[in-house]
A and B are shown apart, each in its own frame.
Chain A
Amino acid sequence: AQTVTQSQPEMSVQEAETVTLSCTYDTSESDYYLFWYKQPPSRQMILVIRQEAYKQQNATENRFSVNFQKAAKSFSLKISDSQLGDAAMYFCAYRSAFANQAGTALIFGKGTTLSVSS
């Protein structure tokens, strides 16, 4: 079974600085998708960025980028020019490219709480 590990329960960053959140995963599959979701205090889950495993190029969305290392099974999220609104819990998630025992459900890590100070 696939697992997702986020080893940093809490992280902090100052406004305008850069922070990197770590995520590792375990899978025997060759094709899959990886996601970072943001959950602010409202608790609404918001997609931040996604990465297809077959693409070598790292995904980027404005101030958010990932460092995808397929061989190492690592998928870190970098937030540049941090803003107060970035304060939230961030979840890393894995999804198989194939319908399997868990269908197309996302498998989540336990999350990293990011605080941003001014």
Chain B
Amino acid sequence: DGGITQSPKYLFRKEGQNVTLSCEQNLNHDAMYWYRQDPGQGLRLIYYSQIVNDFQKGDIAEGYSVSREKKESFPLTVTSAQKNPTAFYLCASSTGANTEAFFGQGTRLTVV
């Protein structure tokens, strides 16, 4: 079945460590996105990519980095520079045309 897979579902990180969240899609979508969800804040855009080897910062990119080496993959690294990384992270993709975005199941990151 086509879809978006995020892993792991739960992730724990010690302060000062970098951690990478995985996002893979087999929908053949060009565009991929990372959102952060905090209680009462809705979904805020971290990074997006509309094509392989190209990506742009969203509204809250500080402390995060991404890569887009393959069409299917858009991993997000949460660096030690992110001061408040505990949150729920959602990856999404779309054709880039006039359609909705499809979402993965999310990763809950907790700093311990």
Contact = CB atoms under 8 A, between A and B. Distances in A.
B105 interface: yes
A91 interface: yes
Contact of B98 (A9, A97, A110): A97
B45 interface: yes
Contacts of A109: 42
Main secondary structure on B side of the interface with A: strand
Contacts of A85: none
Given A102-B48, A102-B58, A43 B88 contact: yes
Chain A interface: which size bin? 20 to 34
Interface string A82-118: 0000000001000101010011111111110000000
A108 B58 contact: no
Q: Which of A91, A97, A102, A104 has the most CB of B within 10 A?
A: A104
Contact of A43 (B41, B98, B101, B105): B105
Contacts of A42: 105
B23 interface: no
A105 B33 contact: yes
A45 interface: yes
B50 A103 contact: yes
A97 B94 CA distance: 13
Interface of B: 31, 33, 35, 40-45, 48, 50, 56, 58, 88, 90, 92, 94, 96-98, 100-101, 103, 105-106
Interface of A: 6, 9, 33, 35, 42-45, 47, 50, 52, 91, 95, 97, 99, 102-111
